[in-house]
Structure 1
Amino acid sequence: MASEHPVSFALVPGAHESPVILHVPHSSRAIPDAVRAGIVLDDEALERELDHITDSHTARLAAAAAERAAVRPWQFVNELSRLVVDPERFPDEREEMAAVGMGAVYTRTTQGRTLRGSVDPQPLISRYFHPYARSMTAAVAGRLAATGRAVVIDVHSYPSRRLPYELHGDGPRPPICLGTDEFHTPSELLTAAREAFAHCGDIEVNTPFAGAYVPLDFYGKDARVGALVVEIRRDLYLEEPGGPAGPGLITLAGALAALVDVWTPGQRAGH
């Protein structure tokens, strides 16, 4: 589970002409030993927490979708657990999830238990969060330079039953939740996602999770950057809470590939 000097993230190249980045921020369970030392859970409790907090097999799902796509998308994959840092949180007071101890550096678990004692988050943010953000920003800039736009599709999963940490978990928990951003999610992208995942079951927008990830350098500023989060209810493809993947993973990979294919050259919709 741990390594002293882990690779923090990986950019897996796709086709030069593809504007799509499949972003996989929460698939890994890896925690460096130095970070593990600051976590107060025993090994058994930590493994249980990782079962709940990890979007298990989503890196595998994204890779399978990339293999099936007509034009191979790029992949940006976090190779460390979100218990190290969560690269999709704001690193400051804007972060709503800080209210439940789940800002960029988590201090509470999904069950509301103490994850870390008194901790200065800045060393972890400097060591892990900022390099990740810079590299993701560069990846988006690379797609803009090569193709004139970038489309960030986040690949997530979520449990079929609400966990205590969820701030907005009272609504429906559909098989597929699509997270959108008012500025960065064009209607064409949302429509394409609905069509691609239509055979996977009911689809809802921004419930139980809302929003989409865009690097801060582009957020709310550059409409050439499109963004969508695909949240997959875990019982569609794995044994909950964090067990092995089943045949549903391949079905979902096909749907994700179909979404990617909409944005291949000659087929992309405008913002």
Structure 2
Amino acid sequence: MTLAEDFPHGVFSVRLPAEQLAPFVFNSPHSGRVYPARFLQMSRLDRVTIRRSEDSFVEELFGAAPSLGAPLLFAHFPRAFLDVNREPFELDPKMFRETLPPQANVRSARVAGGLGTVPKVVGEGQEIYAGRISLAEAVGRIDNIYRPYHQELDRLLAETKSLFGSAVLVDCHSMPASIRVGDHGMRPDFIVGDRFGASAKRPLSEAALGLLAGMGYTVAHNRPYAGGFITEHYGRPAEGIQAIQIEINRGLYLNERTLQKTAGFEPLFQDLTRFCANLIALWEEWNWTPLAAE
């Protein structure tokens, strides 16, 4: 099988606004739902279980971004197949028949948890593969999907910064409804991550937190999700690029057993459209430049 046969509509899509009106780029790297037959044959999991790490329909929840004047990039490949929210060679040596190249990061906490660039597990530790796979399989995914995806994201941010003098990346994700935070086990509807202030300036994070809370949602900040590789890698406030990660509780819009949308999907879509519009409007008011006040 070739990449074109695995992903007949491409490995990702970019929806561009008719005219970009603000320095925002929205990204949904984990919402891909195209599972190649070849990959399913390699897996020991059934077709529902293998989707447990998928950010189902998140690109649809943020689908109004282009109509608001901001590009939206989203994956077609599933997270279980390849995770672009990792370093390019964040790999578990126990997964492969061959020795990993020297540039591989084999000691990260994400690799230890089975969630490297080529994941070992989905959901609550369910192993994807029955045995070891070839290193060539991983390298092919990295060269043909990971690198083009990041090249496109980098291009969108560079063009946005060139147009506006700064850029804001909103990295869009979902989380299991079982997530609890704090001493009292509060269930957050959203978690906003900014790498504890390293990837975004305070006005941006506070605006995102405040807008969501103002709509009646329970919102947490950085715990337990402060942002992954994408937020960390692209969020460089001193250089004029800020990045925040938005995690949405799947219980708001999804039946996690069947992976079908619930009646909550449409109200949440409307709220997130309003959230995006208001966040963009606040940028216009505050003009978050690289030198904006902390």
Q: TM-score range by the shorter chain?
A: 0.7 to 0.9
Partner of 1:109: 122
For 1:203 and 1:236, locate their aligned partners in 2 and report how far apart those are by CA, in whole Å. 13
Note the alpha carbon deviations across 1:72-100, whole angstroms, 9 max, x for none. 11111112111121111112316421112
1:189-200 superposed matches below 5 A? 189-198=204-213, 199-200=215-216
Partners of 2:188 and 2:221 in 1: CA distance: 9
Conserved 8 A contact 2:82-2:117: yes
Q: What TM-score do you get using the length of structure 2 for normalisation?
A: 0.78
- Which residue, 247, 267, 270 being the options, matches 1:248? 267
Cα gap change, 1:142/1:215 in structure 2, threshold over 3 Å: closer, same or farther? farther
Matches of 2:286 and 2:62, distance apart in 1: 21
Contact 1:86 1:105 in 2 (8 A): yes
Q: Residue 151 of structure 1: SS of its match in structure 2?
A: strand
- CA distance in structure 2 between the partners assigned to 1:195 and 1:219 by the alignment: 20
- 1:64 to 2:64 alignment: yes
Matched residue, 2:28: 24
> Deviation string for 1:222-271 (max 9, x for gaps)?
5311101111111222333422142332223322332233224x542234
Q: For residues 145-176 of structure 1, what are the alpha-carbon distances to aligned partners after superposition, in whole Å with 9 as ceiling and x for unaligned?
A: 1111110001111111149xxxxxx9643111
Q: Distance in 2 between matches of 1:142 and 1:103?
A: 29
* 1:201 correspondence with 2:217: yes
What amino acid is aligned across from residue 164 of structure 2 in structure 1?
T
Instruction: State the AA in 2 paired with 1:4.
Output: D
Match of 2:169 in 1: 152
Aligned with residue 228 of structure 1, among 237, 241, 244: 244
Structure 1 residues 200 and 49, CA gap change in structure 2 (3 angstroms): farther
Contact 1:175 1:200 in 2 (8 A): no
Larger Rg: 2
Task: Give percent identity, aligned residues only.
Answer: 25
Aligned residue pairs total 256
Which of 244, 254, 268 is residue 287 of structure 2 equivalent to?
268
One-letter amino acid of the structure 1 residue matched with residue 212 of structure 2: F
Partner amino acid for 2:280? V
TM-score of the pair, normalised by structure 1: 0.84
Query: CA–CA distance in 1 between the matches of 2:283 and 2:108?
Result: 31
Cα distance in structure 1, aligned partners of 2:178 and 2:7: 35
- State whether structure 2 residue 153 is matched by structure 1 residue 133: no
Alignment of 1:28-47 (within 5 A): 28-41=32-45, 45-47=46-48
Distance in 1 between residues matched to 2:154 and 2:245, nearest whole Å: 17
2:71 pairs with one of 71, 74, 96:
74
- Measured in 1, the distance between the counterparts of 2:219 and 2:144 equals 37
Does the 8 Å contact 1:200/1:252 carry over to 2? no
**SS of equivalent residue, structure 2 residue 62:** helix
Q: Letter of the 1:223 partner, please give it.
A: E
Kindly tell me: are residues 84 and 200 of structure 1, through their superposed partners in 2, closer, same or farther at Cα, counting changes over 3 Å? farther
SS in 2 for 1:89: coil
Question: In structure 1, what is the equivalent of residue 86 of structure 2?
Answer: 89
The residue aligned with 1:13 is: 16
Shift in alpha-carbon separation, 1:237–1:261, aligned structure 2, 3 A: farther
Alpha-carbon deviation of 1:221?
Answer: 8.1
Unaligned runs of at least 5 residues, structure 1:
164-169
Distance 1:99-1:141 versus aligned 2 partners, 3 A rule: same
Structure 2, unpaired ranges of 5+: 91-104
Partner deviation per Cα, 1:43-92 (whole Å, 9 max, x = no partner): xx232331x2111221111113543x3xx111111121111211111123
SS in 1 for 2:207: helix
TM superposition shift of 1:192: 1.0
